[in-house]
Amino acid sequence: MMPSSMLPAQGDDLDSCILRFPDLDLKDTNLVSPSSSLRAELDANMRKKYAHAKKKAFALLVKTKEIPEPTSCSSSLCKGVWWTCCQQVFKDQIGIHRHTAAQHAGDVYHQTSSVLKQLAAEAGTPKPCVSADKPNGLNGPSTSNHQVSVDFPDTSRFKLDELMSAQDSNQGVVLLYYCYCDVEDPEWLCAWQKALCQHLHLTGKVRIATEGINGTVGGSRLATDLYMEAMLSHPLFKNILCKEDFKTSKGGAYCFPGLRVGVYEEIVPMGINPNVISYKKPGIHLSPGEFHKEVENYLYQGNQEQNDTILLDCRNFYESKIGRFQKCLAPDIRKFSYFPSYVDKNLKLFKDKRVLMYCTGGIRCERGSAYLKAKGVCKEVYQLKGGIHKYLEEFPDGFYRGKLFVFDERYALSYNNDIVSADSSFCGKQWAQPLPF
């Protein structure tokens, strides 16, 4: 996995400002260590720029490896540029990043030194300030210029046991959220996210890409509240995210084995380049109340075969097996990257239909609906805003039956007492029991 973590800033401590890449850590004395002369150049102002210098050095080195994409590549997934290094050709950024980190750590170190010297020379030159009130669109202030603050919530007034949820306690919270937006510097956002979660003693999984962020984190109620505050005040998200975009459920840090934060091509793996099928062209969002009325109309129409509406579950078969909307179409797919293939094979089924799509939290429907719309066969495509999570908050006894599958140690959430499957798809055990993944 590509990037990177940043330790929380603590005063002017140099080691706390190091930006890491896989297999490349300037704190590792067995690899390369900053010389005493280099350390001496890092005055109080320069120390805070150390992480930026290292990341910039890495990016500059990768840039020198670029070659034009061969004209013979006709795939729509080609990006227009490849990379070559050490007599190898790399067709994606992940490959060249891993290679550079593993094989050229020394080169990155020397380039970092040059960048630091350049920054030192520019340190005395005044630069115009960017107003915090100036609107910056989806991108917010440019992270590549380090205008985004890495300040974390002040936790000094809280006791440690208030921030940390007990391992076996169900008094904590699990947050589920996503935000599609243009991210200029996903590596830096990844580093900030990891440091923030560590600062608040949160566990979970966070995926970051140039198309946005997708996270599910667990911890104490206090820690998750502080996390939401930090997200909602971040320049990149404050004009896009709102508190209602976070789905909450009982849980805590114990729901995840640890913390995983990484940069990927997609924030939910559909297997198609985000530039080909974009989140910017989704289906029409319906609130839980609007979706409920649509499902009600669908269910109470007499002849379902002649109905012009399809209620489509975008989740995997083992999710819909233990809980689903009544009379839905539930594809027999094992993972979301199979969804486009399912659509392609069943275009006749969707022809001239109104499609009501839903998933766990809404994220899979964003690009799933965009893919279905791009086929040009549907009369209209709608999606449930906030997913099943938000629907069940308003309609626990509505048209959704069974449990809600979740991708953590809880396995499933219960909002009603309905049973839609007597056993699991994998082991034949009662569906209320954890499935053996």
pLDDT digits (tens, 9 = 90+) for 208-262: 999 999 999 999 999 999 999 999 999 999 999 999 999 999 999 999 999 999 9
Q: What percent of the chain is predicted at pLDDT more than 70?
A: 71
Answer yes or no: are the C-beta atoms of 387 and 365 closer than 8 Å: yes
CA nearest to 193, candidates 150, 136, 144, 130: 150
H-helix or E-strand spanning residue 281: none
pLDDT, position 29: 36
For the residues 288-309, what does the mean pLDDT come to? 87
Q: What is the pTM of this model?
A: 0.63
Q: Which two tokens stand for residue 21?
A: 């890449």
Mean pLDDT in residue range 170-187: 93
- Residue of 359, 365, 378, 427 marked active site: 359
The answer to whether the beta carbons of residues 195 and 4 sit under 8 Å apart is no
**Number of Cβ within a 10 Å radius of residue 1:** 12
In this predicted structure, the answer to whether residue 426 has a pLDDT above a threshold of 70 is: no
Q: Which residue has the tokens 């489509």?
A: 312
How confident is the model over 365-393, as a mean pLDDT?
A: 97
- Where would I find the beta strands (DSSP E) of 307-407? 309-313, 323-325, 354-358, 380-384, 400-402, 404-405
420 compared with 143, residue with greater pLDDT: 420
Amino acid residing at 318: Y
Between these two residues, 6 and 325, which has the higher pLDDT value? 325
pLDDT at 419: 65
165 and 253 Cβ atoms separated by less than 8 Å: yes
Percent of the chain clearing pLDDT 90 (strictly above): 52
Token digits of residue 119 = 């920054």
pLDDT score for 302: 65
Averaged pLDDT for residues 264-282: 95
Is 328 considered catalytic here?
A: no
Mean pLDDT of 5-13: 34
The torsion angles phi and psi of 390, rounded to 5 degrees, stand at -70, -35
CA 144 to chain centre: 19
According to the model, what pLDDT value does residue 318 have?
A: 95
CATH 3.40.250.10 intervals, the chain: 284-414
Give the separation between CA 361 and CA 365, rounded to whole angstroms: 9
User: What number is the average pLDDT over the span 373-379?
Assistant: 96
Which tokens is 215 given?
A: 């996270």
pLDDT in tens, 343-368: 999 999 999 999 999 999 999 999 99
Instruction: Name the amino acid, one letter, at 307.
Output: N
pLDDT above 50 (res 21)? no
Each residue of 245-275: b (16+ CB within 10 Å) or e? Answer: bbbbbebbbbbbeebebbbbbbbbebebebe
To the nearest whole number, what is the mean pLDDT of the chain? 78
Q: 24-70: per-residue pLDDT in tens?
A: 333 333 333 444 444 444 444 445 467 778 888 888 888 888 887 77
Q: How confident is the model at residue 150 (pLDDT cuts 50, 70, 90)?
A: low
Helices (H) and strands (E) in the chain, counts: 14, 16
Bridge partners for 268 per DSSP:
none
**pLDDT-derived band at 10, boundaries 50, 70, 90:** very low
Two structure tokens written together for 398 = 């509505």
Tell me the CATH class for 284-414: alpha beta
Q: Where are the alpha helices (DSSP H) in 12-103?
A: 36-41, 44-47, 50-63, 93-103
pLDDT of residue 164: 84
β-strands 323-325, 400-402 pairing: antiparallel
Q: What is the mean pLDDT of residues 365-386?
A: 97
Single-letter residue type at 344? D
Q: Rg of the chain over CA atoms, in angstroms?
A: 24
* Multiple choice CATH, 160-263, 3.40.50.740, 1.10.150.110, 3.30.70.100, 3.40.50.300: 3.30.70.100
CATH 3.30.70.100, the chain: domain bounds: 160-263
